[in-house]
Structure 1
Amino acid sequence: MRTIDTLVIGAGIAGLSAAARIARHSETLVIERESAAGYHSSGRSATFCHFGIGDGLVHKLTAMSKAVFAAPPEGDHPPLAKRMAAFFVARAEEEQQLDRLTETTLAHSPDAERIAGTDLQSIVPVLKTGPDGFASGLYDPDAYKLDSDAMLQANIRVLRSAGAQLVTDAPVEAIRRDGERWIVDTPGESYAARRIVNAAGSWADTLASMADVNPLGLTPLKRTIIAFRPPEGTDVSDWPFTKTVGAGFYMLPEGSGRLLASPMDETPSEPCDAQPDEEAIALAAWQVEQATTMPIKRIDHKWSGLRTFAPDKSPVAGYAPDAPGFFWLAGQGGFGLQTSPAMAMAAEALALDLDWPGELAAQDIRREMLSPARLGNQFSRSSTSAKV
């Protein structure tokens, strides 16, 4: 049995970014059930940083994280992000939703501007406008397309430079409390840790139940993305990330002349290796064709991932009230990548009982906002033998 100070379970962006910071203070190990980091949600996201998702807390975490994405890379490593505008479009009956989004965005991106009528087509020429199309939009030039692989690898480099280790192909088979330590069994080795960080994504509640800890009531929701080519001769390279403020879709250029699009579906799912279904694929294509003048003749690629939310849709970071040394890092939904620098900083302070970072305080982000205690203990424990 290997003894460790901090054992992080889950090598998605949440677990790796937190581990990279915690490893500066504490002997740290990350274990991952799959063969590679970011196999599930972190590696399947369209990875865009904007203010059109989440609540006020998510917006504050995003604002703080955006400064990290804007910074130039260190050494010869690739940048974590590139600047790309975000464009939110609304039909006439959705003006109030766009007004609220405008207020939120301007608080963090003062160069954002409202656009109306046919001027929308000066930004995305294929958009339908008028009575059967979009009436207005919000253009934010200061948004970022994130590189999920670069983000994962950057955190792995920091982790290893601190002397920490990432172990893949290590699903959790059992977990229990033994005195002052947690014992975690995997097929290859068992670990005894002072603290465990539950960053298991869609499996976070399953892991808690294995440990006889009250689950949070997390909900995994499946989302589908398709890749397709625009009509021949259409240059999409300078198009922004485009998203409807209400029900509809988002799309963005992929970088190889193709477009990515999602119907923003949210289908409840068990934790799994999510796969797209035909209905969601067809819905994505239909949404794009209804909102634009583009026919989609062929879908080049399609995939799905799970976005896991806490009951109040805000992220969770903090020790379980009913289990000493069991640290929750979960519920980061579809905003995990864009908030990961801020969430990692918060997790570091909370897990190690450090002073609250000034960068978080400056955004009026407080410890209690992230605490699992805010959710109560309304969810009962259940035993399970599932591997995490």
Structure 2
Amino acid sequence: MLRLVYTLLWGVILPLALLRLVWRSRKEPGYRRHIGERLGRYGGLSASGPWLWVHAVSVGETRAAQPLLDALLAAYPRHRILLTHMTPTGRQTGQQLYGDNPRVQQCYLPYDVPALVRRFLAYFRPEAGLIMETEVWPNLVHVTRRVGVPLFLVNARLSPRSYRRTARFGGAAASLYNDFTAVLAQTAGDAERYRALGVKAVQVTGNLKFDMQPPEAGIARGHTLRRAFGARHVLAAASTREGEEPLILDAFARWPGAARPALLLVPRHPQRFDEVAALATRAGFSVQRRSQLDVDALDAPITADIVLGDSMGEMAMYYAASDIAYIGGSLIPLGGQNLIEACAVGTPVLMGPHTFNFAQATEDAIAAGACLRVADADALMAAASAVLADEARLADMRAHALTFAGLHRGATQRTLAAVAPVLR
């Protein structure tokens, strides 16, 4: 009954969703491209498979899926990968990673209307579907099960807060998740919460983000960028979200140490690059934009207070250029972003109080000595100042970051083994 009501609501929501695409395209033009795909129309795309379908809603999920995608391409050489998204930035990230690979095709997933989902499945006829992390659409899951396509929720996470919210739906939530062939959870805590909902087929396979290998070229360019800052330390504020930058800039202006570092400020969403640059300028800082720097031919030191990371697909470079990094989305209650990318290049991290999206990884990183938790923006600057002033402590945290990132690898192979029984 709940799914019926939900489906009927889509009759009202669908026109509004299309209008919202147009509205969002004012700042991000990608939202007005490929609109037909969101309605299940794929006539311009190849239907020639066989297909393994992986859904990665946006940037973070697409990056996290890379080790799994690479493993699937290697393990099933006769298959092609259908990589679906919901956001233009997710699609752009997939294009950067696999645009030259003829075995990977990208498109948008249709809106969660049964007829549109059936049209999508009828066109591509995937052998199996792998949904990344938390992207659970009731009609998508139900229709996929009805037509006999095995569907896995991979790298699945369910925070305590999300569990409490989902548990309110009682048996409906259990029925939804039990339509998956299996839920492959990141941690034992995630698996325990799924089982508490009544989900039967749950396995712990680990976090795919630990298997992400930072590109060597990106690391090398990061080291080049780091040298351009000279004797100054570099503090990164990475994947920052709306509402965080004013807090960070205000606290950075009151830097508690003797020598203020350079701030490498990287907003999470590209449509906000100009807005954040203006914020920093109004706060009285000199700003150098990455898009105006030729990192491969730097012929002068970088003297700006802030370098704005206004580019996509260069997080490895930004982290490699930093001595310590704050991971955004955690000073305000948004749940935080992925800290593993920074640790993988040996950059110690600082996290705010709100890390429910990466709770286990954050606690493990703190226990490993790779991460410090701070209460607010002033505490963030105080912690960064203390670590940067102590070279021995900074070196220890770097070593702990690398060790932490290496200890938790292996989720890709465990995920591959879990889905292998349903694949030819």
Compute the TM-score of the two structures, normalised by the length of structure 1.
0.24
Higher RCO, 1 or 2 (CA under 8 Å, sep at least 6)?
1
Higher fraction of helix: 2
Compute the TM-score of the two structures, normalised by the length of structure 2.
0.22
Higher fraction of strand: 1
